Structure 1
Amino acid sequence: MDICTSLQRQHSLIEERVQSQDIEITQLKTRVNTLEDNEKRREGFAQEDAPNTEEMDQGEDLLLGDTVKDSDKSADKGSDS
């Protein structure tokens, strides 16, 4: 009879652990889904707010080209004197 009682207790403890683990797993899944949703939203905002890099690169080339031309002009003026 003691063996049966002991086994029943062990079974009850195992059931409690399984139930608590199920609850924890459910909570973690919910958290993961929430984090994934937040990440998707951030990526969406980042893509909407992201500047067009091709346009920026072209603009930088123009600015750099103007700077080089200006520095060439000032160097030419200095050599004339």
Structure 2
Amino acid sequence: MSLWYFLIDWFAGVPTFGVLFKRFMINFAWVCIALFVMLVFQLPAEYAAIVYFGFIVVNGVMGFVFLRQRMQMRD
């Protein structure tokens, strides 16, 4: 299975707000784990900032795609 197929499946086809929330929380859990590992290895704060803002961007894209799909389903 290719990475592109995984990303298409992850960002698209979210049927309900509950599934979207679950995906947000899964992303949040991964970010918490990544930040903890970065803390243990004492990596620079710039890397943590990149991970944190990447999390915000990914969840923003998922939310935007979800809202566009909901609008298209109403038409």
Give TM-score scaled by structure 1 length: 0.39
Higher relative CO (CA 8 A, sep ≥ 6), structure 1 or 2? 2
Which of the pair is proportionally richer in helix? 1
